Chain A
Amino acid sequence: MAEMEVKESSKKGPGVKKSKKHSTRVDLTPMVDLGFLLITFFIFTTTVSQPTAMNLNMPKDTKDQQDLTKVKESGSLTLLLGKQNVVYYYYGNDPSTMKTTNYKDVRDIILKKKKSTPAADLFIIIKPDKDATYKDAVDILDEMDINDIPRYAMVDPTPDEYSKIQQTEQANGIK
């Protein structure tokens, strides 16, 4: 126990000053508070730092045209990832109809496409260009998960597309 027994001694001579006796009992409530606060802190920090992993399956590189996956033009949406969080997208096979968007609005575009296309035809092509960051690629892959897109592929942009992106970036003053 945290108390000590203090013996009362009444044998004091006259003129001896009575010293005031303080209780030796300490209130431990704040200490308990602190203890539990620390426990809570440690528990939270240990569980949160657990890293998670995201699956990624890449297709085999094939040189044979026969083996390539065929995508219906009506069902395809191409997303090009550029510099500074800009996403360019076009439907079907014609890069000249490219439009600009960002990572926030890309979800609506994907969902709209998903609703307007039969599930079997839907195919999203992701083309991160040389200047895109790793985060951009992960964000878009994550977007596929969030919107439950069953078929998508990650490929490099064609030189045509890359020069188109660069032109657009220059026109918009993105360095």
Chain B
Amino acid sequence: MGRAKIKRGSTTVDMTPMCDVAFLLLTFFILAAKFKPPAAIKVVTPLSVSNKVAPQKDFLMVTISKDNKVFLDMDPALKGDVLDELAKERNLSFSAQDKQNFINAQFVGVPISQLKQFDELKPEQIKGTDLPGIPVDSTNDELQAWISAAVNAQMGQRLNFLIKGDATSKYSTFSQVIDAFKKNDQYKYDLVTTSEQVPEGSELYKKNIEEQLNGGKKPTE
């Protein structure tokens, strides 16, 4: 009786296609990723349990550095209008070139009087530690002027106010920033934080689980 011979295949698999796929994906992810521009001001945000993603559109962001200086950043789409409005409110004049420089600049890090020179600097020349920041004290509250310009430039449309403070900055600076917003009748802010796990067993933890059990709906009050 002739036994059917089982053909023994090799156990080594050709890894070439898999390698191709792996590197193709790698290349795709690297190219698709948006790179963070090297930040001139280093800010370490505090942790919070909030899981809401910070708005990326129509925002005005106030940054508080660890040496308690205040900087301003905004949605590039708004920059032109905001500068026009500021010029109107403060009786300043900016040439077309100044305006273009302002739009290209990463953020506002100096008092308005030095703004033109600051905007001409290249990103490599800007060092967060050398900048004076925007004055927020009650005698010369330029932050308030900026906020007012931004609010008026938006003409009633929604503007998201983000406050990104360094964990070690003083509360008093934050309080001054809040005051500048309050003077413009703006009372809702988003504090930029780094997300953290909700502590197990806490009230919020229980509430979140309840929400999940109810099919993602908030319990009706």
Task: List residues of chain A with CB under 8 Å of any chain B CB.
Answer: 1-2, 27-29, 31-32, 35-36, 38-39, 42-43, 46, 49-61, 81, 107, 111, 128-139, 141-142, 145-148, 156
Contacts and interface: CB of A to CB of B under 8 A. Distances in A.
A2 to B, nearest CB: 5
B170 A61 contact: no
B191 A138 contact: yes
A142 B171 contact: no
Nearest to B202: A146
Contact of B172 (A50, A58, A130): A130
B16 A147 contact: no
A29 B19 CA distance: 8
A137 B175 CA distance: 10
A28 B15 contact: yes
Contacts of A139: 46
B167 A134 contact: yes
Interface stretch (B23-31, B76-84, B139-147): B23-31
A31 B64 CA distance: 45
B26 A42 contact: yes
B56 to A, nearest CB: 9
Contacts of B174: 134, 137
A121 B16 CA distance: 69
14 contacts: A1-B14, A28-B16, A32-B15, A42-B33, A43-B29, A52-B193, A53-B193, A54-B190, A58-B187, A60-B182, A60-B185, A60-B187, A133-B170, A146-B205
A146 B22 contact: no
A138 B46 contact: yes
B124 interface: no
A156 B175 contact: yes
A81 B53 CA distance: 28
Interface string B173-201: 11100100110010111111111001100
A168 to B, nearest CB: 18
A134 B18 contact: no
A51 B54 contact: yes
A94 to B, nearest CB: 24
Contact of B19 (A28, A43, A145): A28
A42 B198 contact: no
B182 A58 contact: yes
Given A28-B18, A146-B203, A54 B30 contact: no
B193 A138 contact: yes
B2 to A, nearest CB: 33
Contact of B202 (A42, A46, A147): A147
B188 A57 contact: yes
Contact of A147 (B162, B169, B204): B204
A90 B63 CA distance: 33
Contact of B162 (A35, A42, A53): A53
Contact of A61 (B64, B182, B190): B182
A129 B171 CA distance: 8
B220 to A, nearest CB: 15
B197 to A, nearest CB: 11
A111 B205 CA distance: 14
B7 interface: no
A35 B29 contact: no
Nearest to A38: B26
B50 interface: yes
